[in-house]
């Protein structure tokens, strides 16, 4: 049987995952913007991998569209837009998708699946997380720049798609409860604003101790919030999250020794937030650092570091082109943390 797959949000992730499914025999339609659709319709796809693997997908092997009309006959819809576009995209599916269509969100952040499920209450809507990074290069080339696979919330409806994903080289890592994985991924994604502000490739940025100290500050704060909210993140790194925070602050030589997975990063790979800033698009900061700030507010834990990262990314979204050195960014985040500590220690005006 040939599965019909609609990829809603043809960008780095949607085209890489959808392209792999097309290479494995699925009937795939990419729904996206003309600039990228025109490119892939002309060149086809070349899907390359960190380990040297490569798939070619000819233009005739997939369809492109700017509206998700193909969702009407789809067995599976992959939602791969950025979080800010989740609701608008899901609304485009209303009246189009059948009730037996599986809608799988492959997005960072917490709660995109809930947003979609509220808009499409009669569909099976599932959460998924892409654990690898994809870089788009000219000429229809999409490169997997880090190790990792696809983690999804398990559901019986996924049974029939599992062989297709396995054939595509993207076996589904199925979790009875995906939330711990989503929170753990969010911890890792707290590096996205730091990477975007650095202007550097991920490997270069994470190779510098001061940037890692920035990430350690953001993660330590996030873990304090999660602890208070009784959220236990899964372990996605060689060390558990609390120890990872300490490892991040180690000198470069020691860190590179213990961080085998961090080394498995393509020298050119950058966070998708860096791409968003470069292309003048709104970022996912509100769904990453913003999630920590909101939860911190709810459980009464201060979050000055993540709030500061939100502020700096907000400035960058409005055109500030400053590229932060590790030392400058670290000083800025530490100062935000000190100010918050002093504010908390100061007797209130009402006392």
Ligand X SMILES: NC(=O)c1ccc[n+]([C@@H]2O[C@H](COP(=O)([O-])OP(=O)(O)OC[C@H]3O[C@@H](n4cnc5c(N)ncnc54)[C@H](OP(=O)(O)O)[C@@H]3O)[C@@H](O)[C@H]2O)c1
Residue 51 tokens read as: 């380990």
The CA distance from 244 to 255, in Å, is: 10
Q: Which residue, 39, 153, 162, is CA-closest to 107?
A: 153
**Which residues are CB-neighbours of 107 under 8 A, at least 6 positions away?**
79, 80, 81, 82, 83, 86, 128, 129
- The two beta strands, 45-49 and 76-79, are unpaired
Q: Which is nearer to ligand X, 107 or 259 (CB)?
A: 107
Q: Which residue, 116, 113, 123, 112, is CA-closest to 92?
A: 116
Q: Of the candidates 46, 167, 281, 334, which one interacts with ligand X according to CB under 6 A? A: 281
Q: Which is nearer to ligand X, 82 or 175 (CB)?
A: 82
Q: Does 85 bind ligand X (CB under 6 A)?
A: yes
Instruction: Determine if residue 230 is left, alpha or beta; phi over 0 gives left, psi from -120 to 50 gives alpha, anything else beta.
Output: left
The CA distance from 312 to 61, in Å, is: 43
Nearest distance from C-beta of residue 257 to ligand X, angstroms = 26
Q: Which residue, 145, 139, 157, 165, is CA-closest to 23?
A: 165
Nearest distance from C-beta of residue 8 to ligand X, angstroms = 6
Q: Which is nearer to ligand X, 55 or 304 (CB)?
A: 55
Q: Which is nearer to ligand X, 64 or 312 (CB)?
A: 64
The CA distance from 135 to 271, in Å, is: 9
Q: Which is nearer to ligand X, 32 or 304 (CB)?
A: 32
Q: Of the candidates 55, 75, 284, 291, which one interacts with ligand X according to CB under 6 A? A: 284
Nearest distance from C-beta of residue 66 to ligand X, angstroms = 7
Q: Of the candidates 5, 7, 13, 125, which one interacts with ligand X according to CB under 6 A? A: 13
Q: Of the candidates 29, 48, 108, 289, which one interacts with ligand X according to CB under 6 A? A: 108
Nearest distance from C-beta of residue 215 to ligand X, angstroms = 17
Nearest distance from C-beta of residue 271 to ligand X, angstroms = 7
Q: Does 107 bind ligand X (CB under 6 A)?
A: yes
Q: Which residue has the tokens 């000190």?
A: 338
Pick the piece of the chain touching ligand X (CB under 6 A) from 82-90, 119-127, 234-242, 319-327.
82-90
Instruction: Tell me what percent of the chain is helix, strand and coil, each rounded to the nearest 5.
Output: 50, 15, 30
Q: Does 9 bind ligand X (CB under 6 A)?
A: yes
Q: Which is nearer to ligand X, 39 or 154 (CB)?
A: 39
Task: Tell me, rounded to whole angstroms, the distance of Cα 225 from its chain centroid.
Answer: 20
Sites for ligand X among residues 216-255 (CB under 6 A): none
Binding site for ligand X (CB under 6 A): 9-14, 31-33, 36, 80-83, 85, 88-89, 92, 106-108, 130, 133-134, 272, 281, 284
């Amino acid at each position: 049987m040939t599965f019909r797959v609609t990829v809603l949000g043809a960008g780095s992730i949607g085209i890489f995952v959808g392209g792999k499914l097309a290479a494995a025999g699925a009937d795939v339609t990419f729904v996206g913007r003309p600039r990228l659709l025109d490119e892939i319709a002309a060149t086809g796809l070349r899907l390359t991998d960190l380990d040297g693997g490569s798939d070619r997908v000819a233009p005739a092997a997939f369809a492109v569209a700017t509206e998700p009309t193909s969702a009407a006959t789809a067995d599976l819809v992959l939602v791969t837009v950025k979080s800010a576009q989740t609701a608008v995209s899901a609304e485009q599916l209303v009246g189009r998708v059948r009730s037996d269509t599986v809608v799988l969100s492959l997005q960072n952040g917490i709660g995109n699946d809930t947003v979609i499920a509220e808009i499409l209450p009669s569909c099976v809507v599932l959460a998924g997380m892409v654990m690898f990074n994809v870089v788009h290069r000219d000429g229809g080339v999409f490169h997997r720049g880090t190790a990792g696979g696809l983690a999804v919330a398990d559901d019986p409806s996924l049974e029939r798609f599992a062989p297709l994903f396995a054939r595509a080289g993207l076996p589904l890592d199925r979790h009875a409860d995906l939330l711990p994985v989503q929170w753990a991924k969010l911890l890792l994604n707290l590096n996205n604003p730091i990477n975007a502000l650095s202007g550097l490739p991920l490997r270069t940025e994470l190779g510098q101790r001061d940037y890692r100290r920035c990430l350690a500050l953001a993660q330590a704060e996030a873990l304090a919030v999660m602890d208070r909210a009784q959220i236990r993140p899964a372990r996605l790194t060689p060390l558990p999250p609390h120890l990872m925070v300490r490892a991040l602050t180690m000198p470069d030589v020691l860190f590179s020794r213990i961080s085998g997975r961090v080394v498995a990063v393509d020298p050119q790979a950058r966070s998708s937030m860096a791409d968003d800033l470069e292309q003048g698009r709104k970022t996912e900061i509100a769904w990453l650092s913003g999630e920590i700030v909101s939860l911190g507010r709810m459980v009464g834990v201060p979050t000055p570091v993540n709030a500061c990262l939100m502020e700096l990314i907000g400035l960058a979204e409005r055109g500030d082109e400053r590229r932060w050195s590790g030392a400058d960014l670290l000083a800025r985040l530490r100062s935000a943390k000190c100010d918050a500590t002093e504010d908390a220690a100061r007797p209130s005006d009402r006392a």
